[in-house]
Chain A
Amino acid sequence: EAGVAQSPRYKIIEKRQSVAFWCNPISGHATLYWYQQILGQGPKLLIQFQNNGVVDDSQLPKDRFSAERLKGVDSTLKIQPAKLEDSAVYLCASSLDRGGEKLFFGSGTQLSVL
C-alpha cells in the first residue's frame, strides 16, 4: 500500500519569497491534515480537510498561508511571503475517518527560510 507522498523533501528560500508544498494522501482517505513541526517542538495543526472542505483552519496564519484540496484528493500548502520563523518541517497526514484515530504521516518537507 502506498503511503502519504510529499514533495519536495527539502526547500531553501529567502525571506519574503513564496513556496508551495504538495501532498498526495493514501488512496481513499477522506481526511487530510497539514502540520507544522518547528525544531524541538511537537507537530502543530495548521489545517484539516474533510474531502475538499475545510474542517479546522483556526491555527493557520491566513495572512500568509493558504491551502487547498481540489477534488478532495491531493493538496497544496502555500506560504507567501515567507518569514524566518516559518522554518520548520511541514507534515502532511491522512486518515480514513474525520476523528483522526489513526493518522498516516508523510516524511515531510523541511523548509529553511534564510
Chain B
Amino acid sequence: AQSVTQLGSHVSVSEGALVLLRCNYSSSVPPYLFWYVQYPNQGLQLLLKYTTGATLVKGINGFEAEFKKSETSFHLTKPSAHMSDAAEYFCAVSRTGRRALTFGSGTRLQVQP
C-alpha cells in the first residue's frame, strides 16, 4: 500500500520568501509522485509530477520538487512566493502509474503581504 504524509496543515510565508511544503511517501515499489494545487472553489490542477528520470522536477508557476529516494521525500519549493500562490497543495502518489492517486491531507499556504 502507498501513502503520503504532508507535514504542516498550514504554512504562512511573506511575499517574496521561500516556499517549502513537505511531503514524505511510503511505497513498496518505485512510486510516481505528484503535486496538485487547489484554488478556492476550483478543481485540483497538476503542478508537477515525477515518474522516472531526473529527480529534480520543474512545474508550472515557478514551483519545483526533488525526489529523494533515500529520504522518501518529495518536497515542493518555490524561491519567491507571490500572493497568487495562496491555495491548498496536495502531494499524491501512485504505484507505477497503474493505480489511481493516493493523496495526502493537504497543506494550506498563506502568503502575507
Contacts and interface: CB of A to CB of B under 8 A. Distances in A.
Interface in A66-114: 91, 93, 97-108
A91 B100 CA distance: 14
A45 B100 contact: yes
Interface residues of B, number: 26
Nearest to B103: A42
A46 to B, nearest CB: 10
Contacts of A108: 43
Contacts of A3: 43
A99 B101 CA distance: 9
Given A42-B106, A105-B44, A100 B99 contact: yes
A55 B95 CA distance: 14
Contact of A91 (B44, B102, B104): B44
B62 interface: no
Contacts of A104: 43
A107 B100 CA distance: 19
Interface string B30-47: 001000100001111110
A21 interface: no
Contact of B104 (A4, A42, A99, A101): A42
Interface of A is mostly: loop
Contacts of B36: 103
Interface in A4-50: 4, 33, 35, 40-45, 48
Interface string B81-113: 000000000101010111111111110000000
A105 B41 CA distance: 12
Interface of B: 6, 9, 32, 36, 41-46, 49, 51, 90, 92, 94, 96-106
Interface of A: 3-4, 33, 35, 40-45, 48, 55-56, 91, 93, 97-108
16 contacts: A3-B43, A35-B103, A41-B106, A42-B104, A44-B103, A97-B97, A99-B97, A99-B98, A100-B94, A100-B97, A100-B100, A101-B32, A101-B49, A101-B94, A102-B49, A103-B44
